[in-house]
């Protein structure tokens, strides 16, 4: 990744990702409403909500809370810029994890029992999906010989053909990363959160608007993770990756509206079980392919 490609990725991701994230969130609300027999809000309702939050008077229990959320947003933008510029996948995973850490610190800084309980659940979610997210770059390296995302564009076959179980594992934990039921235990976009609003209970106004914008950036980045498995050295690879990402997001919406939330013990156990199963059998399959077919 060169300085020019990073600058291009930063500008492109910084400007386009919130637009795409907003449209995806709006489509999510419409599809969810239709599945529930309702008409639903307009497509740009998430934008209207954020603009309304930005116009509200600044009220914070802890003055540094907004600063922590701003850092989380900046790190999410940097992670997305490096990813879509074809940079190091390990750095991307590290930056987005650090962004989540600042989000958790922001919740703890309010010293509210509801926010602290939401933050604790967020930590459990991180423990659930992070092993799979960390393994993804490792297996990407085994397939491509590099951690650079751009290396996927020189492959003869898409990564999903060599490590399909890693894609399955990623798809499983994306439900948590995208904050969908049954694994959204700390912060819900729907009106079924028994912790008032979980981790964002004490956030309002501009701070809450930044949280929503950060989620837009993260949604696009996480869908980029999934699309990476369908990219190879083909002129149609990027189009196929985009269509695959949209199909995966639609699948996550269906899952979100089909399952009730589970207890944190179930989320943690299932996530680790899927991670271990996918990792072990993926290692065996990659070794077999390299030893007997290459």
Cβ neighbours of residue 151 closer than 8 Å, sequence gap 6 or more: 144, 145
How many independent structural domains does the chain possess? Answer: 1
- For residues 82-92, b (16+ Cβ closer than 10 Å) or e, as one string? bbbbbbbbbbb
Q: Residue 218's domain spans which residues?
A: 3-292
Q: 193 and 203 in contact (C-beta within 8 Å)?
A: no
Q: Write the DSSP string, 78-101.
A: HHHHHHHTT-BHHHHHHHHHHHHH
- Supply the pLDDT for residue 197: 67
Specify the pLDDT at position 205. Answer: 85
Among the listed residues 168, 171, 165, the one whose alpha carbon sits nearest the alpha carbon of residue 286: 165
3-state SS, 188-255, equals CCCCCCCCCCHHHCCCCHHHHHHHHHHHHHHHHHHHHHHHHCCCCCCCCHHHHHHHHHHHHHHHHHHH
pLDDT at residue 24 in the model: 94
pTM of the model: 0.92
Kindly tell me the burial class for residue 246, based on how many C-beta atoms sit within 10 Å of its own C-beta (0-12, 13-18, 19 or more).
Answer: middle
What's the average pLDDT block by block, 10 residues per block, for the chain (294 residues)? 80 92 93 87 92 82 83 94 92 94 89 84 92 92 89 88 91 91 77 62 85 94 94 88 94 89 89 92 74 56
Question: Do 126 and 119 touch, CB atoms closer than 8 A?
Answer: no
* pLDDT number for residue 47: 93
Q: In this structure, are residues 215 and 77 in contact, taking their beta carbons and an 8 Å threshold?
A: no
The predicted structure's pLDDT at residue 77? 95
């Amino acid at each position: 990744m060169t300085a020019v490609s990073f600058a291009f990725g930063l500008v492109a991701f910084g400007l386009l990702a919130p637009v795409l994230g907003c449209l995806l969130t709006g489509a999510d609300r419409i599809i969810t409403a239709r599945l529930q027999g309702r008409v639903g809000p307009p497509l740009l309702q998430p934008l209207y909500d954020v603009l309304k939050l930005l116009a509200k008077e600044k009220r914070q229990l802890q003055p540094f809370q907004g600063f922590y959320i701003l850092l989380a947003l900046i790190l999410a933008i940097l992670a997305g810029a490096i990813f879509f510029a074809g940079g190091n996948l390990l750095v991307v995973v590290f930056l987005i994890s650090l962004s989540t850490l600042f989000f958790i610190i922001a919740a703890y800084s309010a010293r509210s029992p509801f926010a602290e309980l939401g933050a604790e659940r967020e930590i459990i979610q991180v423990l659930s999906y992070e092993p799979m997210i960390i393994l993804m770059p490792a297996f990407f390296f085994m397939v491509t010989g590099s951690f650079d995302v751009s290396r996927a564009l020189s492959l003869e076959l898409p990564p999903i053909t060599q490590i399909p179980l890693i894609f399955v594992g990623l798809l499983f934990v994306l439900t948590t990363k995208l904050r969908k039921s049954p694994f959204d235990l700390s912060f819900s976009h729907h009106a079924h959160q028994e912790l008032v609003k979980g981790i964002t209970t004490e956030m309002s106004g501009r701070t809450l608007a930044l949280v929503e914008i950060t989620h837009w950036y993260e949604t696009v980045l996480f869908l980029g993770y999934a699309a990476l498995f369908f990219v190879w050295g083909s002129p149609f690879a990027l189009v196929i990756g985009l269509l695959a990402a949209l199909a995966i997001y639609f699948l996550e919406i269906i899952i979100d509206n089909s399952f009730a939330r589970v207890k944190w013990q179930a989320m943690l156990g299932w996530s680790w079980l899927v991670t271990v199963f996918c990792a072990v059998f993926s290692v065996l399959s990659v070794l077999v392919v390299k030893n007997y077919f290459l």
